[in-house]
Structure 1
Amino acid sequence: MTLHQPIHWLGGFIADLPTPFDDDDRVDWPAFETLCEHQIRSGATAIVVGETMGEDSTLGRDEHEEIVAAAVGIARGRVAVIAGAGSNATSQALELTTAAEAAGADAILSVVPYYNKPTQAGILAHFQAITNVTGLPVILHDVPARTLREISDETIVRLSESKQLIGLKDASGSVARLLRLKPALPPTFRFLSGDDATAPIYLASGGDGCISIIANFFPELCRSIYESCMTGHMPVSDGSPARIAALATVLSADSQVAALKYGLSLLGLMKPAVRLPLVELGDDARKAVALAMTALCEDEAAADASSCRLAMS
């Protein structure tokens, strides 16, 4: 793997891994290793840790650093480790970034500052400060539904003047934005969807990949869809994109993190435990997740995958 050339590994479906907890609300390290190995065995080129699905806002600083370091140790260069390192306080984002670099991460994923609603000038200065303190590649994370601020096209173009700014995770689901920005940015800049439901369309329109929740469950199926899209043959006839969209919709209907963890518990990969203020799913939501996962398991492409090796109730 040539980590100094992210174009070789920053693409396809990249799982945003959850942080598993044990019955005492501590990080479940054996389960975390299982999740990492599950992705590595599937042929993933990268994993994301300590970000949205990792419940980063409830992790202590020491826990966050330990998670990044553990992922690096488990990966042993077999996949790239992208560390979540975002905050709505620039000083804290800088600390998380430098800590991730010290722990051996290959890149950072840094979210647009949330809650305090910075202007575009503030967003620009925030990310410029981050690129100034690290030698790591930086991926922007734009998720307006959570941050209440979208990073503008102009700001992205200005930030791309830094060679360290290598990509965008766009959770808006906007294909139009991809088509607007792609001609204005360097050819090595990577466009990643943050929305599983529209990811196949995003890929077919020129996107490079998806930082994904669904890839936690079905990495082989996601890789198959990616490869089909890259060869110009969007896989619509087998219904798998529709089933992925259906599962993504179910996951978004309640707490995405709780739904992800419950689904992974059905596969025997971790416990469904979450940290307050999140709570575990109720019975109806659990049934909906199980039904949507079963529909994907019945897909021919997923049926041969190790993800479906266990019966789900």
Structure 2
Amino acid sequence: MFKGSYVALVTPFKKDGTIDENKVRELVNYHIENGTSGISPCGTTGESPTLTYEEHKKMIKIVVEEAKGRIHILAGAGSNSTREAIEFTKFAKEVGADSVLSVCPYYNKPTQEGIYAHYEAISKEVDIPIVVYNVPGRSGVNILPETIAKLAELKNIKGVKEAGGSVDQVCEIIDLCGDKIDVLSGDDALTLPMLSVGAKGVVSVTANFMAKEVSDMIKYFENGEIKKAQELHKKLFRVHKTMFIETNPVPVKATMEMLGKISGDVRLPLVRLKDKNKEILTKVLKNVEII
């Protein structure tokens, strides 16, 4: 069900700190025009921790409205409160999202049993395809492959965004789950290695401004044009790494500001990219002829 390049969409802000709706709509059309498979608003890259509930819902609604069914919408609907995750998931379905991305509960560090119970509760409450998001660096806990395999038995758990940084873990998930669940890379730099062991795509930060390149790399791999996929991976690799020179989404927003796409403003406690890191970023982007 899930394959290709899904963009982890940034949330553009105006100078007064409010959501820039016009820029959101422009970004949706940019991705439709450049081969992106799906748009994922309100994830970590979308600064979901600092969006109000109303803003979170507004972002999903704007993206769905502007997409008009032309592209898959994988709406961020996670929370470390199961009750809130259910609320966001219900809303996403109500406004017409195609699926939801549901992050592992963060900060409260549930056990594997608690993680399973969290997703089971969401699955029972809302009939919509769910992609489990495993990101130990943010959540403080790793969803083990055995837990993913158990979740894959639930009728609407259809995918996992794996951002644990381990190709071994992806291999274990695929070995345990077979074709019951689609694996998407949650780490741009590991997308091609993960594809090589059976992953189907990526939820990408870099695709915010290199949508065609990220999408093409996956298409080349799918078509057996491995050398072309490798060449694009090589071009993209240093860009991917630079997107995490500071906390995501600070570097990607700085990049998009350089390209004239959006303001580089982020919400506290995040701050703008440091000057010394902006110099590094600029050099990398020049090397790949993005600027």
What SS does structure 2 have at the residue aligned with 1:124?
helix
Structure 1 equivalent of residue 186 of structure 2: 194
Cα deviations by residue, 1:172-197 (Å, 9 ceiling, x for unpaired): 13221222221322525211000011
Residue 279 of structure 2 is aligned to residue 264 of structure 1? no
Give the deviation of 1:236 after TM superposition.
6.5
- 1:104 and 2:96 correspond: yes
Q: Is residue 2:179 matched to residue 1:175?
A: no
How far does residue 235 in structure 1 lie from its aligned partner after superposition? 3.5
Q: Does 1:162 align with 2:158?
A: no
Q: Measure the CA separation in 2 of the matches of 1:157 and 1:208.
A: 17
- Whole-Å separation in 2 of the counterparts to 1:14 and 1:237: 17
Counterpart Cα distance in 1 of 2:281 and 2:120? 40
Deviations 1:120-177 (A, max 9, x none): 1100100001101111100000000111101111111111111200000000132212
Counterpart selection for 2:79 from 75, 87, 110: 87
Q: 1:174-229: per-residue Cα shift (whole Å, max 9, x none)?
A: 22122222132252521100001111111122110010011111111112211221
For 2:283, the equivalent position in structure 1 comes to 291
Which residues in structure 2 correspond to 1:204-223 (within 5 Å)? 204-223=196-215
Partner SS state of residue 129, structure 1 = helix
CA deviations over 1:15-35 (Å, ceiling 9, x no partner)? 100000000000001111111
Aligned to 2:126: 134
Q: 1:237 to 1:48 in 2, by over 3 A?
A: closer
**What is the identity, as a one-letter code, of the residue corresponding to 1:45?**
S
What number of residue pairs does the alignment pair up?
A: 291
One of 16, 19, 22 as aligned partner of 1:27: 19
Counterpart Cα distance in 2 of 1:236 and 1:174: 24
TM-score by length of 2: 0.96
Task: State the distance in 2 between where 1:183 and 1:120 align.
Answer: 19
CA distance in 1, matches of 2:20, 2:39: 18
Check 1:237–1:201 CA distance in 2 against 1; reply closer, same or farther (3 A cut): closer
Q: Contact (CA 8 Å) 1:173, 1:198: kept in 2 or not?
A: yes
TM-score (norm 1): 0.89
For residues 238 and 248 of structure 1, what CA distance do their matches in structure 2 show? 14
Aligned 8 A contact 2:160 2:183 in 1:
yes
Q: For 1:235, what is the secondary structure of its paired residue?
A: helix
Q: Please state how far the C-alpha of 1:238 moved relative to its aligned partner.
A: 7.0
Whole-angstrom distance in 1 between the partners of 2:58 and 2:275: 33
Gaps spanning 5+ residues in structure 1: where? 1-6, 298-307
Instruction: Note the alpha carbon deviations across 1:90-143, whole angstroms, 9 max, x for none.
Output: 111111111111121111100111111110110010000110111110000000
Q: Who is 1:300 aligned against?
A: none
Could you give the per-residue CA deviations for residues 226-270 of structure 1, whole angstroms, max 9, x where no partner exists? Answer: 122123333369743133221122121212211111111112111
Aligned to 2:270: 278
Q: Which amino acid aligns with 1:264?
A: M
Answer whether contact 1:17 1:47 (CA < 8 A) is retained. Answer: yes
Q: Secondary structure in 1 aligned to 2:133?
A: strand
- Distance in 2 (CA, whole Å) between partners of 1:156 and 1:204 is 20
Look up the SS of the partner of 1:141 in the other structure.
strand
Q: Is the 8 A contact 1:243 1:295 kept in 2?
A: no
Tell me the residue number matched to 1:228. 220
Structure 1 residue identity aligned to 2:204: S
Question: Which residue in the other structure is 1:3 paired with?
Answer: none
Rounded Cα–Cα distance in structure 1 between residues aligned with 2:226 and 2:53:
42
C-alpha contact (below 8 Å) 2:220/2:229 kept by paired residues: no
Write the distance in 2 (CA, Å) between the matches of 1:163 and 1:131: 8
Is there any run of 5+ residues in structure 2 with no aligned partner, and where? none
Q: Residue 109 of structure 2 is aligned with which of 114, 117, 127?
A: 117
Identical-residue share of aligned pairs (%): 33
